[in-house]
């Protein structure tokens, strides 16, 4: 017992910690915030800067290390080498394991078809970007070399165009960036997920990007849309062009655009052949989703679907049932399957080591600035080498004056260490020049050799002057970039793979739904039922919640449009066929939940229409009335919710009526006054307007309701009619104070 008590006391005295560091068998107190900052933050920064986010040259570190390794191996224009050898060499720069390196390599190859302009020319099975089952062969079976486009990726890299740093063990130097001569950051797609941020860059056509970059260099205010139409994906497909979406991507670097598959109809075999798909999906995902739709009964026109991808490229074949319309079927599949998908853009790029979401214009400007620096460094390198060579040749030229003297000085010098100083004294040259002269072979001490070398002096001086002029003029540097981009576009440019379809030309998908008569019921508490006439005849009493009543009962059909007006000046649109056929014995669908209405929002009226003819009448408690054409609620897209359905500045909306022709309306105020008006005196206005004052009210009075005049509502309707509006109305006569008038 004593031992048990001692243990309990020990537990009670243990310190409560929010975080800890384990070491030397001891536990130390540390705030959890400090732990995260000291341990997790460096890791997060490392992932962002050194792994997942591409830099302005268009490459992540893993890409850059792999390609530079292949460049060092002499694979630019050389023979094919086994991928396993490339992976092994790359591990000298990238110590993350051979599997990760080979996976990176696969994506950069021509065989995988992931990029518009692959950087690696490949031989063997490298899998497919559009199939999750077509995996690449092992690295020992495949071969690769650098593609021809890498000539403009690595151009002049030996001329100090970019900085070099030590690799992870300090044995090899590697470039921090590659001196790409075109905006590869926008030419090849790139995605990455870091810690707390991500990057997703779509690809653009090389010719269009080069043309846009040239135009921006010449005119910084250039309209990008005139030269850069839209992205261009390696797998082709059709881009649904929406100017607002494109503007958002171009201007902010974020947004999405819809891409759909391309197909053709084989009339002889009554089948559809899909040959290009969106970049965000795979063959298997499309087939699996289509099969699910067929099993669910949502697609009935398909008899079979299969993958026929082969040596000729991607191909998904859909066999149709007799009489099926291929175009209508594809429109339906675009909506129900990944055959149409959205590519989300997030142009997050490391600029100077800091992640930044850039617009297209900003990316091209940053790349131009980067390329200007590369060219200046290259020119400065050439200029320095030329000046050094000129300096040596000028020393050599002085020997031309007396070759015999140079030979005599060397021959008569007793010690080797005195040769250079004696040459310096004899010809008036510096140490560097004297060292150069002293190293000339005996066979070259002839006038012909020296004359040939010294003839270079004039051309070198001219070249030095030209290079210096380039360094002194930013405009000349830009001219070099323009020339390079023009040549690259002509040599490597290709025709667009992705077609552009304008959103206005899109066909609207009209899914055929069975049409039949129905009875629609709406209760005062917001419950809705759709019952067929046959079911209604066989039903008993309507089931309702306690205190609930049938508010509206309308005979319509299954394809009718429903407009549910709410007490928050909003209207929610639906189709009758969106609701399942019901029975009188059930409560029905609760509309606020079914249509995802705002919290506390309630339905106060239901309008039905097939052609949006007629108008809506709104009566407010402050005595105002408004008329709005029903066509004002038509939308081009399938929007479910419309705000500002009627005015919210007139107090409570006490009555709503859907009408096709003008009719007499009876209004009742809280002062027991009645007023009869004709809806024709109210002019139609746009939705959301306050309308006109029809009933005059005294302080603390309000309109209780407004009803369409019926035969038995009052004995003498004209008694309550007035020639001018607004009007106070008349007190209800005794014989008119019946059930209908008393209703509130």
Domain with CATH 3.90.199.10 in the chain: 59-179
pLDDT in tens, 585-637: 999 999 999 898 988 999 999 999 988 999 999 999 999 999 999 999 987 66
pLDDT in tens, 327-344: 989 999 999 999 999 999
Query: Which range in 344-353, 409-418, 431-440 is most confidently predicted, on average pLDDT?
Result: 344-353
pLDDT in tens, 24-41: 556 667 788 887 778 787
Under DSSP, the state recorded for 172 is S
Please tell me whether residue 462 adopts helix, strand or coil conformation.
helix
pLDDT in tens, 278-331: 999 999 999 999 999 898 888 889 999 999 998 888 999 999 998 888 998 999
Using CB atoms within 10 Å of the CB of residue 463, give its burial: 0 to 12 exposed, 13 to 18 middle, 19+ buried. middle
Please tell me whether residue 520 adopts helix, strand or coil conformation.
strand
Interstrand relation of 517-523 and 527-531 (parallel, antiparallel or unpaired): antiparallel
pLDDT of residue 15: 43
pLDDT in tens, 197-253: 889 999 999 999 999 999 999 999 999 999 999 999 999 999 999 999 999 999 999
Average pLDDT, the chain: 89
Angle between helix axes 419-427 and 360-399 (nearest 10 degrees) is: 80
Domain with CATH 1.10.268.10 in the chain: 366-492
User: What value does the mean pLDDT take over residues 371-387?
Assistant: 95
pTM of model > 0.75:
no
Nearest-5° Cα angle at 589, 583 to 590: 145
Using CB atoms within 10 Å of the CB of residue 510, give its burial: 0 to 12 exposed, 13 to 18 middle, 19+ buried. exposed
The confidence band for 520, taking pLDDT boundaries of 50, 70 and 90, is very high
Residue 633's contacts (CB-CB under 8 Å, 6 or more residues apart) are 563, 571, 573, 612, 642, 645, 687
The whole-angstrom separation of Cα 411 and Cα 422 is: 11
pLDDT in tens, 684-724: 998 889 999 999 999 999 999 999 998 888 888 889 998 89
pLDDT of residue 46: 78
More confident: 484 or 408: 484
**DSSP line for 590-615:** EHHHHTTPPTT--EEEEEEESS--SE
pLDDT of residue 437: 83
pLDDT of residue 346: 95
User: What value does the mean pLDDT take over residues 444-451?
Assistant: 76
Q: Which of 3-17, 362-376, 554-568, 651-665 is the least confident region?
A: 3-17
Judge whether residue 16 has pLDDT over 80.
no
pLDDT of residue 737: 66
Smallest CA-to-CA distance from 152 within 91, 79, 206 is with 206
For domain 262-338, the CATH architecture is 2-Layer Sandwich (3.30)
The confidence band for 741, taking pLDDT boundaries of 50, 70 and 90, is low
The pair of three-digit structure tokens given for residue 328, joined into one six-digit string: 């209508």
pLDDT of residue 78: 86
Please tell me whether residue 298 adopts helix, strand or coil conformation.
coil
Q: Say if residues 299 and 293 touch (Cβ distance below 8 Å).
A: yes
The confidence band for 19, taking pLDDT boundaries of 50, 70 and 90, is very low
Buried (b) or exposed (e) across 328-358, using 16+ Cβ within 10 A?
Answer: ebbbbbbebbbbbbebebbbbbbeeeebeeb
**Torsion angles phi and psi, residue 297, rounded to 5:** 80, 10
366-492 maps to CATH 1.10.268.10: yes
Judge whether residue 498 has pLDDT over 50.
yes
Domain with CATH 3.30.1360.40 in the chain: 262-338
Contacts 24+ apart (CB under 8 A), 303-312: 307/131, 307/283, 308/273, 309/128, 309/131, 309/134, 309/283
- The class of domain 59-179 in CATH terms is alpha beta
Which residues are part of the catalytic machinery? 141
pLDDT of residue 413: 86
Fold for 517-742, please state it.
Neuraminidase (2.120.10)
Domain with CATH 2.120.10.90 in the chain: 517-742
Beta bridge partners of 76: 146
pLDDT in tens, 142-160: 999 999 999 999 999 999 9
pLDDT of residue 511: 53
pLDDT of residue 3: 43
Of all residues in the chain, the percent with pLDDT exceeding 70 is 93
Q: Which of 37-41, 45-49, 503-507, 593-597 is the least confident region?
A: 503-507
Rg (C-alpha) for the chain, rounded Å, is 41
Of all residues in the chain, the percent with pLDDT exceeding 90 is 65
pLDDT of residue 35: 78
More confident: 744 or 95: 95
More confident: 508 or 276: 276
Judge whether residue 4 has pLDDT over 80.
no
> How many Cα atoms within 13 Å fall on the side-chain side of residue 562?
30
């Amino acid at each position: 017992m004593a031992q048990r008590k001692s243990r309990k006391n020990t537990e009670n005295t243990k310190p409560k910690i929010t975080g800890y560091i384990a070491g030397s068998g001891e536990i130390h107190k540390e705030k959890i915030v400090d732990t995260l900052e000291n341990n997790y933050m460096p890791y997060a920064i490392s992932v962002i800067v050194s792994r997942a986010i591409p830099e302005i040259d268009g490459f992540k570190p893993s890409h850059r290390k792999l390609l530079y390794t292949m460049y060092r191996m002499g694979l630019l224009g050389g023979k094919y080498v086994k991928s396993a050898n490339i992976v092994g060499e790359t591990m000298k720069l990238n110590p993350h394991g051979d599997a990760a390196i080979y996976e990176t390599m696969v994506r950069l190859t021509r065989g995988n078809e992931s990029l518009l302009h692959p950087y690696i020319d490949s031989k063997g099975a490298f899998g497919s970007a559009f199939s999750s089952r077509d995996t690449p062969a092992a690295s020992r079976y495949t071969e690769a070399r650098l593609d021809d486009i890498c000539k403009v990726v690595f151009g002049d890299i030996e001329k100090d165009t970019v900085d070099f740093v030590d690799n992870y063990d300090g044995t090899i130097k590697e470039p921090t960036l590659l001196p790409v001569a075109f905006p590869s950051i926008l030419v090849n797609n790139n995605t990455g997920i870091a810690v707390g941020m991500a990057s997703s860059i779509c690809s653009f056509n090389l010719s269009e990007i080069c043309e846009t970059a040239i135009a921006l260099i010449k005119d910084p205010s250039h309209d990008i849309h005139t030269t850069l139409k839209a992205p261009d994906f390696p797998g082709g497909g059709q881009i649904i062009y929406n100017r607002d979406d494109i503007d958002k991507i171009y201007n902010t670097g974020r947004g999405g655009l819809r891409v759909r598959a391309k197909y053709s109809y084989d009339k002889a075999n009554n089948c559809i052949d899909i040959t290009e798909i969106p970049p965000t999906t795979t063959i298997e995902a499309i087939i699996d989703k289509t099969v699910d739709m067929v099993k669910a009964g949502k697609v009935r026109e398909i008899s079979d679907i299969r993958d026929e991808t082969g040596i000729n490229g991607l191909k998904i074949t859909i066999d149709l049932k007799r009489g099926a319309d291929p175009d209508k079927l594809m429109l339906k599949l675009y909506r129900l399957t990944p055959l149409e998908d959205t590519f989300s853009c997030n142009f997050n790029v490391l600029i100077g080591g800091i992640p930044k979401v850039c617009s297209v214009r900003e990316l091209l400007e940053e790349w131009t600035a980067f390329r200007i620096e590369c060219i200046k460094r290259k020119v400065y390198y050439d200029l320095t080498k030329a000046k050094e060579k000129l300096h040596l040749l000028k020393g050599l030229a002085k020997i031309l004056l007396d070759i015999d003297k140079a030979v005599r000085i060397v021959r008569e010098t007793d010690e080797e260490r005195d040769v250079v100083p004696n040459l310096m004294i004899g010809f008036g040259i510096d140490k560097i020049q004297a060292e150069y002269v002293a190293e000339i072979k005996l066979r070259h001490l002839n006038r012909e050799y020296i004359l040939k070398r010294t003839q270079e002096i004039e051309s070198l001086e001219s070249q030095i002057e030209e290079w210096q002029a380039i360094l002194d003029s930013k405009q000349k540097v830009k001219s070099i970039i323009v020339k390079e981009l023009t040549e690259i576009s002509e040599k490597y440019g290709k025709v667009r793979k992705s077609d552009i379809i304008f959103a206005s030309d899109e066909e609207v998908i009209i899914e055929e739904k069975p049409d039949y008569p129905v009875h629609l019921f709406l209760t005062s508490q917001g419950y809705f039922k759709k019952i067929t006439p046959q079911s209604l005849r066989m039903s008993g009493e309507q089931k309702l919640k306690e205190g609930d009543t049938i508010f509206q009962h309308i005979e319509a059909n299954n394809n009718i449009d429903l407009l549910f007006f709410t007490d928050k000046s909003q209207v929610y649109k639906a189709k009758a066929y969106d609701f399942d056929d019901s029975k009188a014995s059930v409560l029905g669908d609760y509309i606020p939940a079914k249509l995802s209405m705002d919290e506390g929002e309630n339905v106060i009226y239901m309008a039905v229409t097939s052609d949006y003819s007629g108008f809506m009448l709104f009566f407010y408690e402050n005595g105002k009335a408004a008329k709005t054409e029903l066509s004002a609620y038509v939308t081009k897209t399938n929007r479910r919710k419309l705000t500002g359905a009627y005015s919210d500045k007139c107090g409570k909306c006490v009555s709503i009526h859907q009408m096709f022709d003008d009719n007499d309306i009876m209004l009742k105020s809280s002062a027991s006054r009645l007023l009869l008006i004709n809806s024709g005196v109210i002019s139609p206005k746009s939705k959301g307007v306050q309308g006109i004052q029809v009933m005059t009210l005294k302080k603390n009075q309000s309109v209780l309701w407004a009803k369409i005049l019926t035969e038995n509502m009052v004995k003498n309707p004209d008694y309550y009619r007035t020639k001018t509006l607004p009007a106070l109305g008349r007190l209800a006569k005794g014989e008119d104070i019946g059930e209908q008038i008393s209703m509130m």
